[in-house]
Amino acid sequence: MTSNAHASGRRAVKAVIPAAGLATRFLPATKAVPKELLPVVDRPVLQYIVEEAAAAGLTDVLLVTGRGKTSMVDHFDRRPDVEDRLEKKGDLERLAAVRRTSELADIYTVRQGEALGLGHAVGTAAAHVGDQPFAVLLGDEFVELDKPLLPAMIDLQARTGGIVLALGEVKPEETSRYGIASVEPSDLADDAVEVTGLVEKPAPDEAPSNLAVLGRYILPASIFEAIATTKPGSGGEIQLTDAMAQLLADGVPVHAIVYRGHRYDTGMPLGYLQTVVMLAAARDDLGEEFRSWLAEFVAGGAKG
């Protein structure tokens, strides 16, 4: 079957952000605060992700939420009381920053009643998404704004009609933290590969490569039927990787863009801290002062 047999020519215009997880790696911080709202300098992680989606034209954003996580939605709402105060103070810069969060995208929500896995979370989006291709952005990682990944993925998916993933090289000992792909060359786009196999969280000696599935996916609507028949897999959860592997076995074309930029992974305390430091150091407003403090701190043996 050629790739074009699946292509509908329709581009993904909706984004789904699974964000119902319990974030056990960040307890106790995440007892009452969703990990997606942990701040990176002055914006929550989730805002960087919605900004990445909006920059790629995905302004219809469905947040998959769970108990105790409704404050995520508030972040993208208007705050007339705060806006009035800033306007009266003449703090127009902050006023613009506050307003911007409510203007980025149209935010919709759906509840994932039980945390049964990433595949299950994506499955809750079926009614909102309908029969069109759509993007999935995991709620704890994002890429450099000036090296975007989504536009090339959306273009490629509109051509193949299949699944388009993003892959990044990881250390061989890290394969058990990711979905891992086996690939063959493809000339469909720059940095594109054809995916020939997918396995969720393999041990290093069972991994087919060190190319990890990053948290960006462009999926055809047929993924919902595959999810509905996917049995619990790695960790006893309904895995998105397993549903995608099912479509691959059914002949759906699966491609990936190998990402060469930096991926900020805020899902664990170390990656979160690295993200905060890197983005603070790059800021126009406080970067210079922060970098010089950081250099002194490190030169002094990095003791508080």
* # chain residues binding ligand G1P, by CB under 6 A: 14
Least distance CB 199 / ligand G1P (angstroms): 9
SS (H, E, C) 4-56: HHCCCCCCCCEEEEECCCCCHHHCCCCCCCCHHHCEECCEEHHHHHHHHHHHC
CA distance 113 to 150: 29
Q: Are 130 and 246 in contact (CB under 8 A)?
A: no
Q: Which residues, 141 to 160, sit near ligand G1P by CB under 6 A?
A: 141
CA distance 237 to 116: 5
CA distance 272 to 275: 5
By CB under 6 A, residue 215 contacts ligand G1P: yes
| Among 51-59, 74-82, 159-167, 209-217, the segment contacting ligand G1P (CB under 6 A) | 209-217
CA distance 169 to 185: 15
Least distance CB 98 / ligand G1P (angstroms): 30
By CB under 6 A, residue 242 contacts ligand G1P: no
CA distance 137 to 158: 18
- The first and second tokens of residue 109, run together, are 């929500």
By CB under 6 A, residue 200 contacts ligand G1P: yes
Q: Which residues, 76 to 135, sit near ligand G1P by CB under 6 A?
A: 118
Q: Which residue is nearest to ligand G1P (CB)?
A: 179
Q: Which is nearer to ligand G1P, 101 or 210 (CB)?
A: 210
Count CB atoms within 10 A of the CB of residue 260. Answer: 10
Least distance CB 230 / ligand G1P (angstroms): 12
Candidate residues 34, 168, 179, 253; the one interacting with ligand G1P per rule CB under 6 A:
179
Candidate residues 16, 138, 153, 256; the one interacting with ligand G1P per rule CB under 6 A:
138
Q: Which residue has the tokens 């595949």?
A: 119
Candidate residues 241, 246, 266, 275; the one interacting with ligand G1P per rule CB under 6 A:
241
CA distance 186 to 195: 9
Q: Which is nearer to ligand G1P, 95 or 199 (CB)?
A: 199
Q: Which is nearer to ligand G1P, 133 or 179 (CB)?
A: 179
| Among 61-69, 71-79, 101-109, 239-247, the segment contacting ligand G1P (CB under 6 A) | 239-247
CA distance 253 to 136: 18
Q: Which is nearer to ligand G1P, 18 or 162 (CB)?
A: 18
Residues engaged in binding ligand G1P (CB under 6 A): 118, 138, 141, 178-179, 200, 212-215, 239-241, 267
